[in-house]
A and B are shown apart, each in its own frame.
Chain A
Amino acid sequence: MRNIWRNRRRSLLAMLSVALASLLCLVLQGLLGGFQESLVKNFTKNETGHIRVTTKDFADRAELLPVDAMIHHPDQIESAIRTSPAIADKVRIMTERISFGVLLENKGLNKTAVALAGDPKTEESLLYLQRSILPGGHYIDGPSQTIIGAGLAEDLKLSVGDALKVVSEASDGSLQLKKFRIVGIFRTGVTTLDGKIFQVPLGDAKTFLRTEGGSQSIIIMLDDYHEAARVAALISALLEDPTLAVTPWTEIGDYARLIQIETKIFNALDLIVMFLGAFIITNIMTMVVLERRKEIGILKSMGFARGEVLVLFLWEGVFLGIWGSLIGGGLGFLLNVILHFRGVDFSSYFTSLEFPVDNIIYWTVDAPVAAGIVILGCVISGVVSIIPSLRAARMNAVDAIKSI
């Protein structure tokens, strides 16, 4: 300890460098966590659920949102799931949903969009669009009503009370038009929702698309989304229907893979940042060893073994790393807590983003991650101290004393 405070400024500089690296790593992890949580939340509630039951034909062409691959008796499937003791307890929400691509028109203006058709009551606990309706409008409370994204409304110059002309191909291949009355305009802050989506009642969509009661998918939300793969397997075994596809959200689209890749990239970045931050310890320890050659020579002549000298210097480096990591980790954790509650508005950057993420990202606060980064800082500080410590340990006692 005395050695560390011999040159306070130098030691503080080393700690500061490690602290900044730890802080940066932790804040980046908080941002990544917030981004991924937003992505998973929006992706599952808006598109796939934690588990999606569809026909295999639909699953093969899901990106095209086909309306000619319907489940003919969705009520029977729902009933089977609800009465299965092994599954029912794990299901939080289960609902039919149809998503279909449409052409919207208003006074000669056209725009492509996606209609989300579901039971309005259930969707209140799933899409939550009723929370984002702008003043002057209300949520769907009857047939042939719709709520549309603010971006869509602006592009088509539509307001509450206007008729929304929707053109789509029906399940029999015919081209159909239906007019919905706009009762609300929503702004969620998610660009992909506000600019492309409108919600309609499921019954209207079934009639419009001529599905004869069929539904495109059954969306299931679980109490714990980590159980999606296991529960999907249970449902698949329960239904025993080779024409159906029961798919957990992790196997739909590229988002799950994207999350895995993001995590790996950020972990690698953390490692690099920590090494860069701790590298100053190598420089400082090298200087320390050179400055204390005489001292090392005396210690060795007094009988200190190589290992003892090595540990002495290694401990100095690790000590700098421990304090730096603890200070940085603590400040980073505090900053994450603040950003978790306040969030940061990225709307100007996310405007043209096609990912279903909220414009305001709220950092995640993860104590194990914070602890991990502190430990990483300590370990890396030890690693970067090895070379100068080895140099000290290998010094010849006589040469060391003579060199001064």
Chain B
Amino acid sequence: MKTRTPRAIFTAALLCTAGAGTCCAAGLSGDEILKRMDANTSYRTIEYDGTLAIYSGDTVRTKEMKATAMGTSKALAEFTNPEDKGTKFLKIDKNLWIYFPSEQDTVKISGHMLKEGMMGSDVSYQDALESDDLFKKYAVTVSGEDTVDGRPCYVLTLDATVKDVQYETRKMWVDEERFVALKQEMHAKSGKLLKVSRVLEVQQIGDRFFPVREEISDQLKQGSRTQFLMADVRLDVPVSESMFSLRNLGR
């Protein structure tokens, strides 16, 4: 399976795929569906302008950022909206740092704090840190077919094979034609629905189909949802590896 890279800190988890599928439906196995999804979402590097809209009840907060990612393990997002201007998120492997320009200092996020929502959004730090690790953590089966927004989809069920997972099971609706996960439900061990994500807009970039507007809602937070919009997406552009370093954060 080709290495799939996260497009940015905030969308890494939403774009996850899984491996080790065995069951077949409509001629494609879970593995094959994931490989096709993988082909859509794989790249060496990516740059884009992101907008995060955090809805809580009647209020909405908008945050803007410029994001760059390299491989599975490195991503950098710098916020550009006036309130957070200069705040940076740096992800290297499973580590996450936040740089605050006001104090010119960095804070590392670790432990149970990773389960908290990033910037008050419905996306947890752990969601953001997840990438192709899902392949190692879940077994996938094709449980049927369904339609999402009028588009036929394969329905995949991902069951955790290891204990160290945030969601015990995931259910994924994958567009049969474009191989994009249009909808995903994340469940706890008890079966309780924790989060739901939906792709609201897909864009064709070259020969790939890219989800550029997605929404995730934390089912435990009443009236809360977060939309993520990617604009000016540039794939496989030259990016210096040195930008993904703690030393570079303060510059």
Contacts and interface: CB of A to CB of B under 8 A. Distances in A.
A169 interface: yes
Interface in A164-191: 165, 167, 169-170, 172-179
B164 interface: no
Interface in B87-107: 87, 98, 100, 102-103, 105, 107
Contacts of B113: 103, 110-112
Contact of A165 (B87, B105, B116): B105
Contacts of B119: 169, 175
Contacts of B54: 173
Interface-central residue, A103, A111, A165, A173, by most chain B CB under 10 Å? A173
Chief secondary structure at chain A's binding surface: strand
A172 B83 contact: yes
A175 B101 CA distance: 11
A103 B102 contact: no
Chief secondary structure at chain B's binding surface: mixed
B111 A110 contact: yes
A109 interface: yes
Nearest to B99: A177
Contacts of B83: 170, 172-174
B220 to A, nearest CB: 13
Interface in B38-84: 54, 61, 63, 83-84
B84 A179 contact: no
Interface residues of B, number: 21
A175 B108 contact: no
B116 A103 contact: yes
B107 A173 contact: no
B108 A108 contact: yes
Interface string B110-130: 111100100110000000000
A175 B110 contact: no
12 contacts: A103-B113, A108-B110, A110-B109, A110-B113, A165-B107, A173-B63, A173-B120, A175-B84, A176-B102, A177-B100, A177-B103, A178-B102
Given A177-B98, A177-B100, 13 more contacts: A105-B107, A105-B109, A109-B111, A110-B111, A110-B113, A165-B107, A167-B98, A167-B100, A169-B119, A169-B120, A173-B120, A177-B105, A178-B103
